[in-house]
Amino acid sequence: MSLDERRMRHCPLMLESDVIWLPKDFAISGVALQDIPLGVTHRMRPSAVALLFALHDKTTYRTLLRLARVQKISDSQLHELVGFLNMIGALERQRMSADSLRAVGVRMHHMLLGVWYTPIAWRRPATPLTTALGVLRAISIVVGAVCAVAAVAAFAGLAPIAQIAGISLFCITLFAGSLFVHEMVHVRVARRRYIRPRILQIGLRLGVIHRKLTPRREALSSICGPFAGSMVSAAAGIIALSVHAPLYGLAGALIALMHCLSLTPWYGDGASFYKALRERKSLCNK
């Protein structure tokens, strides 16, 4: 297996026994891969089309490797293709439970060599249930970190265990709840008769993807999500302050600030918002 870190940037860890396939959202047309819900066509290299047809039905990664060699596709090129499919949510993977422990060992070994793998993408139609599941998947590492800090604080005796547990539970619940509201507002603003948004989650990244909107609606969707999430968090913080719980109030304020920071130009919502403004300005100047 090639360990070219640049090629591995979006590639998940694959074992030869893993079963992989293209989701139903995607179709193959000539030398192009069509993202049906988003109305996007990705032109592919002719040599990669045979691999896409193999992925149209469930196949093992071992079979894909063999087919790649028949097509004279190098390991690095295959990793680049798999990474691209994963980046757009066009890859589903099923791994046997017996191989999960081996995958952890391989991942740790490669980490020592300086190679990091992108988690497998999770893409679903945007409904309240799938949005909630996407939020829980995205914040799982954050939840683990909060629990670890809480355990250390309790062990060190920095505060009563009940107080530490209470503030930890409050932060996790408010963070998850406000993020759910944030994403659902994106979905509601973007949804139209011909637009069916998708939830795309890769590791800590969570977002709503959809067909191209008008600049006005794109800007509205970009700004309404963070605004709704920050309002929920700020309201929870104000309620906490009204019952004389300053730590809870501070937590609410910090989570509200986090939602506001998502509108910075280099973040997802902020990048979309400023791009929509530029497009609207360009249309007005024509």
Q: How confident is the model over 141-158, as pLDDT tens digits?
A: 999 999 999 999 999 888
Same domain, 48 and 79: yes
CB atoms within 10 A of CB 162: 9
- Tokens, residue 259: 């939602």
Same domain, 144 and 265: yes
pLDDT in the model for residue 1: 38
pLDDT in the model for residue 125: 95
Q: Single out the residue in 88, 120, 152 at which a domain terminates.
A: 120
Residue 173: pLDDT band with limits 50, 70, 90? very high
Average pLDDT, the chain: 90
CB atoms within 10 A of CB 138: 21
Same domain, 128 and 101: no
Same domain, 205 and 246: yes
The structure's pTM equals 0.88
Structural domain of residue 186, as residue ranges?
123-285
What are the pLDDT digits (tens) for 93-152? 999 988 989 999 988 988 888 888 899 999 999 999 999 999 999 999 999 999 999 999
What are the pLDDT digits (tens) for 192-218? 767 889 999 998 899 999 988 888 889
Same domain, 166 and 190: yes
The predicted model gives 45-62 an average pLDDT of: 91
Same domain, 181 and 86: no
Same domain, 114 and 164: no
pLDDT in the model for residue 123: 96
Asked whether residue 151 is assigned to any structural domain, the reply reads yes
Same domain, 160 and 271: yes
Residue 7: pLDDT band with limits 50, 70, 90? very low
258 burial type by CB count under 10 A (0-12 exposed, 13-18 middle, 19+ buried): middle
| Domain count for the chain | 2
What are the pLDDT digits (tens) for 224-254? 999 999 999 999 999 999 999 999 999 999 9
Same domain, 223 and 95: no
Alpha helices by DSSP H, listed for 74-198, are 75-87, 97-112, 128-138, 140-156, 161-190
- Angle formed at CA 78 by CA 19 and CA 33, multiple of 5 degrees: 80
Residue 6: pLDDT band with limits 50, 70, 90? very low
Q: What percent of the chain has pLDDT over 90?
A: 63
- Tokens, residue 187: 């979905």
Q: What percent of the chain has pLDDT over 70?
A: 96
Q: Single out the residue in 102, 120, 138 at which a domain terminates.
A: 120
Asked whether residue 106 is assigned to any structural domain, the reply reads yes
